[in-house]
Structure formats: C-alpha cells, structure tokens
Amino acid sequence: MILLAFSKIDWATLVDCFLKILTAFSKIDWTTFIDWFLRILQIITFLALFLKISFKKEYISNVDIRSIKPDEYDFLNSDFHFIHNYDHSQNCKSYNHFLFYPKGIDIKKVDFFSLEFNEKCIRSKSRKELFETKIHSISNIRNNEGLLIHTNIPDTIPHLRMRWETSSGEIGEYTFQFNGYNGNTNISEYQYKLTWKKKLSLIFGQ
C-alpha cells in the first residue's frame, strides 16, 4: 500500500514546488527581515515590562500618617524642621488631627480631594459612583518636615482624600476614614503606583 501511494505522487510537480520555495527564500532580504524582527521583539519586550511594572502590587513605607491630639503638638517643633498646615474642618466643633510626614525622601506635592457619591442608573440598575474634586495642593514637603491636617471623619461615607507624589517616583493615596476592623486610622506603609518617569527609568535601567 505504501509503495502504491508513493508511485502515485507527481514527483516532478513536488520537486518544482520545492525549487520555487527555495528560489523565493533566496530572494528575501534577510538583513531587513532580521532588522524588523528585532525591532518588533524590542517593542513586545518594552510593552511586557511596562505592563509588569504598571500592574504589580507592592507596598512601601516611606511616609507615615497618624492621628494625633492637640496636647501632642509640643513635640512637633522638636522633631520637625517645619510644619505645614491644612484645615479641612469645615467649621465642625469636633474634628480629627493627622500628621503626615515623609521618611528618608521628599514629597513633591500633595493634592486633597473632596469626595462625593453620586447615584447613577446603568442598565436599569442603580449604582453609586465616587467622584473626586480637587480642593487644595501643597508642594515640596522636605524630609524632616511634616504636614498637620485638620478634618472631620464621618461615621459613614468619607469626604476627604489625599494623594501624594514622592521624589523617588511613587504615588500614594489615603482616604480619611475609620477602618472597619479596629477603627485605626494610622498607616506606616501603602500600596503605591509609579509615575511615568519612574516607569521608564526602571525599564531602561537608569
């Protein structure tokens, strides 16, 4: 059966097709082909590294946020060279005080946002969406400087958020609210994102 099958093959046509394939390959500009292949490979590698850096979830501990009381203000002048202030108390009789400060780095800027939940109807379903409105900014908080924040933390929906950018390229944020576990509001580490400049420097090894 095998010999019969081989006897029916049009060997002349098969050899002719093979020679045409070899001729086509011989006409390829392999230098240009390899050059484009390497370029595409570089683009794919760049995108893979960019996505890996963008979506990684890691924590860093280069800032502290902690709740303090007015009778603790005395130590601020001895522990910090300068204290910035932001008052978001909104004329509340009872409000909370927080100390924000960098550890070993500088803070390029801090932005404060007012938070508001708006109810939207999407596909006949009601859903609440959180909207941010920028209300204040503070620039250049140096290492050994602090930021004193006065605000009122509601028991329900939070209404204040801060977002900062460090001199080393991390972006962090904090929403002023009591956590649901023990009511603690202090943080010593945060999950961060990276600035575009920091992402590119990591990709190119600078």
In degrees to the nearest 10, what's the CA dihedral of 38, 43, 48, 50? Answer: 140
Confidence of residue 25 (pLDDT cuts 50, 70, 90): low
Tell me the whole-structure pTM to 2 decimals. 0.71
Instruction: Count CA atoms within 13 Å of residue 138 on its CB side.
Output: 22
- Which range among 71-80, 91-100, 167-176 has the greatest average pLDDT? 167-176
d(CA 65, CA 146): 10
